[in-house]
Amino acid sequence: MELASAVSGLIRAPDPGLLWSKCRIPLLDSRSNRVSVGVGRSVKEMRDARRIASFVVNASSGGAEMETLVVKKTGLRDFKVLAGRPLPFGATACEDGVNFAVYSGSAEAATLCLFTLSDLKENKVSEQISLDPVVNRTGNVWHVFLQGDLKNLLYGYKIDGKFQPEEGHYYDYSRVILDPYAKAVTSREEYGVLGLDGGNWPQMAGMIPVSDVEFDWGGDLPLRLPQKDLVIYEMHVRGFTKHDSSKVDFPGTYIGATEKLDYLKELGINCVELMPCQEFNEMEYFGHSTAMKGKNFLARVNFWGYSTINYFSPMIRYSSAGMSNCGHDAINEFKTFVREAHKRGIEVLLDVVFNHTAEGNENGPILSFRGADNSTYYMLAPKGEFYNYSGCGNTFNCNHPVVRQFIVDCLRYWVVEMHVDGFRFDLASILTRSSRLWDSINVYGNPKDGDMLTTGSPLGTPPLIDMISNDPILRGVKLIAEAWDSGGLYQVGQFPHWTVWSEWNGQYRDIVRQFIKGTNGFSGAFAQCLCGSPNLYQAGGRKPWNSINFVCAHDGFTLADLVTYNNKCNLANGEDNRDGENHNLSWNCGEEGECASITVRRLRKRQMRNFFLCLMVSQGVPMIYMGDEYGHSKGGNNNTYCHDNHLNYFRWDRKEDSSSDFYRFCHLMTKFRSECESLGLDDFPTGDRLQWHGHRHCAPDWSKTSRFVAFSMTDKVMQEIYIAFNTSHLPVTVSLPERPGYIWEPLVDTSKPSPYDFLSDDLPDKPTAIKQYAGFLHSNLYPMLSYSSIILILRPDPESLL
């Protein structure tokens, strides 16, 4: 009786209106003055009170679900605090509030911090809610539910525990960390501008979602374009429209890029691969760059974005809305870009960086993962040192059970919520390395002889890749691996694939560069590239479209610089030209730099056409780097990761310049590829439709000194096409395959000046240009200049009908 009296004032009958219909979580009421829990009370006192309350409730109601305790909160808002649920992770909007859940395996205490936007800007926490380790913790997950109006509020966590780096722990209760599952991140609003206190790492907070916010997708559905039909465009969101010549309303933003989607469609692009646009800090180098200023130095920022802070949030400073609506508007701008791309038949892929984070090594900042559970999220050595397979200070512990689930949850979110069509995984070989404390029990649930592996060892069947490959949502999207890492693991052609993974084909890039510039010994390897690299992919059961073919990408020389420079020119990066690749396989065509003779400049244009033609006639999926289609130059800088300027901006004025004839050639080549049935095959070409040739038809030369490769292919649309590459410094006259009743008609000759490099149907004097070859063609011959390539099409011979 005394026990019941002691708590009679604490317990009320269940109020059905207070039961949350989705989560059904026990309730703590912020409006009652009866009990104060979590503020100034010991854990033992709270535990005793709950035990007493539970006893009385169960005795009187048979254990019915009901509110169990009441908590008084004052200050920021009038809301109710509930125990919450451990799943799903992150902040989840519900009918009448928000559930918060965060993983922290070794934490001793956790506090939910709430911010108004004005307080965040002043580095002030608006409200703190201490979580009870008995009520608000399930396993290794801390959770709480807030019922009430949380609109326009932000959140983070203070997590306490050991600060013992030698054991892998970096808990620091003085820091408010970002929830790894936050869906939008707010910190600085304007790109390239420091925080109010002049720091480059101002306080960050996550957006608290609300249930009444919806986006009008307008019936948008996945395009599901066959991968064999893709032409991928690697694009930087800010760089695409930031230059003044873009003339968009909001340059450098998702909305600005949306305004230029019609240009991509015109070019023949049906898939964009966005360089990292998950939340990162472009100002992270600021503290280092000020000491590196010199004659050739430009202000350094993290322009490329390969240093992720949060994987769920779109980069907020790529939006015109900035922090408006606590990040909701930025999310909607990204969704608008995807929706409008889909309307034009263009898929959207994200370049994701799950190999490392922005927190760096032991000297890096505590932002999110490190403060939540450093020993779980990163690969650590026995004394707490960070493994560095990424070359960026830390390595994400991808195959740890918690981390791999995090990655899968993130990918699903971008597919389901943001409607993206797939992903390119940066340094994807790290995703195949064993996790810290790897053993068969924590992965498979049972021991296996000989299965003990050291941290970072390559795995034949990595659990993360297995999960992604067999996930019912992710298996149906495009999955592209950059199949190498900075630790020396190179898996091109050998990446664990489950038949669904494609690869950036780095071997294609290297072989094509060497053959086109005239290096001996690559004719046979070049032929493999033209066929979709069956030497790499056929034996493993994959297809030509599993090869993502590229000559240039963001990392390295642009196409124009590839034919202009033998040596990198990276002094402006502030690292004394030590950074960037030294082995570029480039050729300046005889003179270094942009100031060159007319003869050299003509040869450079010819070589650019040769590279692009090769890309478009190869089996597999071609990828074009932004700006290469008009000949963008970075002045020989092959590592422009730190430049927010003209080096990385798409120059719309140069693209529109009448002297830029290369764009016309690229546009016509992508169109030609889309019209040819034989240039995007489902399988590797065989002898029943492909025939190899040399200087004489049907007589290919695969010797080490050969610099000539030619082939003909039957085509259901074009009937038959003949393609040849002469990468020798000498001209040659080739004999063409004999086709009685037909004649070969020239379409492309890269040795000719524009517009005669591509004899399109709209060319007024096309018939005259073709007649110039009549003497050769009627003898089944064609003259090729040095360093040139051609495409001929089989047509009925009018004379054979007479």
Measure the CA–CA gap between 546 and 473, rounded to whole angstroms: 19
Measure the CA–CA gap between 484 and 343, rounded to whole angstroms: 35
Query: Which residues are paired to 158 by β-bridges?
Result: 111
Torsion, Cα of 111, 80, 46, 10 (10° steps): 170
Measure the CA–CA gap between 313 and 180, rounded to whole angstroms: 10
What are the helix (H) ranges across 519-651? Answer: 523-530, 534-537, 559-562, 598-617
Residue 771: CB partners within 8 Å, gap ≥ 6? none
**Which residue out of 96, 482, 628, 629 is catalytically annotated?**
482
3-state secondary structure of 267: helix
Contact (Cβ atoms closer than 8 angstroms) between residue 499 and residue 442: no
Residue 499: CB partners within 8 Å, gap ≥ 6? 541, 542
**Which residue out of 96, 234, 426, 485 is catalytically annotated?**
426
Residue of 371, 369, 334, 316 lying closest to 257 (CA atoms): 334
Residue 313: CB partners within 8 Å, gap ≥ 6? 182, 183, 184, 185, 206, 207, 278, 279, 327
Task: Match 């050998």 to its residue by tokens.
Answer: 494
HSE value, Cβ hemisphere, 13 Å, CA-based, for 745: 21
Contact (Cβ atoms closer than 8 angstroms) between residue 651 and residue 645: no
Measure the CA–CA gap between 640 and 549, rounded to whole angstroms: 22
- Active-site annotation holds for 244: no
Residue 318: CB partners within 8 Å, gap ≥ 6? 191, 237, 238, 252, 253, 254, 277, 330, 334
Amino acid at 121: K
Contact (Cβ atoms closer than 8 angstroms) between residue 477 and residue 452: no
Residue 601's Cβ-count burial label (10 Å; 0-12, 13-18, 19+) is middle
Residue 559's Cβ-count burial label (10 Å; 0-12, 13-18, 19+) is buried
- Active-site annotation holds for 2: no
Measure the CA–CA gap between 616 and 755, rounded to whole angstroms: 19
Catalytic residues: 426, 482
